[in-house]
Amino acid sequence: MNDELRRSAAHVFVTDILNPVLDDDDAHHLARVLRLRSGQKVSVSDGNGAWRVCEWRDEALVTVGDIVTEPRHGDVLSVALSPVKGDRTDWAIEKLVEVGIDRIIVLAPVERSVVKWDDRKSGANIDRYRRIVRAAASQSRRVFLPMVEGPTPLSVVLSGGGVAVAEPGGATDLAGITTVVVGPEGGFTADEVASAPATVDLGATILRADTAAVVAGTLMVAHSRR
């Protein structure tokens, strides 16, 4: 990671990298939560690989650094997961962003899903997940903002390339795998994953669904860096 990114007092995403303007939530966070002092450095990114350094002055951003454009390295890595009860899905999504996953696919309900939303609640939850992703990407100084998609039918995810379902006894080699699909509590039924192009084993123990998603993401990111 670039030292200027690492040392910045805060990192935010803006619409226009040439003339960065904070949205209301970010402005409140920098001024009232972080309580930045005038002159502190704030890195800003457009979420597509471009970023620059600004200074915090009079509760606004003043550009002081040139625009840097980072190339995207390797494949886009994705985890597809089924929402679980409570706030554990929020936790899993936050950690997936922190470890380096690029795309999070929220699965539509399957047979053993405990969490099932109507259209209104589905839209509200996807919006919340995107806010969680944005906050986690800021915290971890990412310059590519991860995507959140869904709810997506399992069959659609399984029809893509480089896909493997997390299943005990699956392969331990992640070569060629860019999407790992993690089921709900109790897992998928045999019929649901009959068309899965591959399976991958996440270890010798039984993992909670949210933990399995993070383990899958971590293994993919580690493999991609070899």
CA 100, distance to chain mean position in Å, is 7
What dihedral do alpha carbons 149, 212, 119, 26 form, nearest 10°?
-60
Q: Which two tokens stand for residue 26?
A: 């970010």
119: pLDDT strictly greater than 90: no
pLDDT at 94: 98
Domain range list for the chain: 3-69, 78-224
Beta bridge partners of 181: 80, 165
41: pLDDT strictly greater than 80: yes
**Superfamily of chain region 3-69:** Hypothetical PUA domain-like; domain 1 (2.40.240.20)
Fold annotation for 78-224:
Alpha/beta knot (3.40.1280)
CA 193, distance to chain mean position in Å, is 24
CA distance 7 to 9: 6
pLDDT at 226: 76
Which is more confident, 182 or 73? 182
CA distance 167 to 224: 21
Interior angle at CA 182, CA 114 and CA 92, nearest 5? 80
Residues 6+ apart with CB under 8 A from 177: 162, 163, 164, 198, 200, 220, 223
Residues 6+ apart with CB under 8 A from 156: none
Task: Give residue-wise pLDDT tens across range 46-102.
Answer: 999 999 999 999 999 999 999 999 998 889 999 999 999 989 999 999 999 999 999
